[in-house]
Amino acid sequence: MNIFGSYQYVNESKVMNYSYNVDTNMLHYTNRQNIQYKSKLVLNKIDFPDNYVNIINQVQLTNTLIMNLQTCPIIQSNIFITNSAIDIEIENPNNHNAYFVLPSQLNGAEYPDYTNDRIIKHLNKYIDDPTGGPRGQLAVHPAVGQFILDTAANNKKSRGINCVKYILDKIKTYDLTEINLINGYLYVPEKNRQFCLFLKYLNDLMIVGMEDVIVDGYYYNRSNITPNKGSNTKKHTVNMIYASAIPINNYTNKYVNVNLINIANYVMIGQYYGALQTAYKKYYNKKIKIFMMPLGGGEFKNNLTNILCNIIIAIKLLEIKYIDVYVKLDIHILTWSGNLNEYTTFKNLLKL
Query: Could you tell me which CATH class the domain 41-350 is placed in?
Result: alpha beta
Q: What does the pLDDT profile of the chain (352 residues) look like in tens digits?
A: 899 999 999 888 899 999 999 999 999 999 888 999 999 999 999 999 999 998 888 775 444 555 555 555 556 678 899 999 999 999 999 999 999 999 999 999 999 999 999 999 999 999 989 899 999 999 999 999 999 999 999 999 988 999 999 999 998 887 666 899 999 999 999 998 889 999 999 999 999 999 999 999 988 767 555 445 556 777 899 999 999 999 999 999 999 999 999 999 999 999 999 999 999 999 888 899 999 999 999 999 999 989 998 998 899 899 999 989 999 999 999 999 988 889 999 888 887 6
* 130 class by beta-carbon count within 10 Å (0-12 exposed, 13-18 middle, 19+ buried): exposed
Per-domain residue ranges for the chain?
41-350
Decide: helix, strand or coil at residue 140.
coil
Q: How many CB atoms lie within 10 A of CB 36?
A: 8
Taking alpha carbons only, the member of 304, 244, 274, 270 closest to residue 81 is 304
pLDDT of residue 62: 47
Q: What single letter denotes the amino acid at residue 311?
A: I
pLDDT of residue 187: 97
Q: What is the distance between the alpha carbons of residues 143 and 140, in angstroms, rounded to a whole number?
A: 9
pLDDT of residue 325: 93
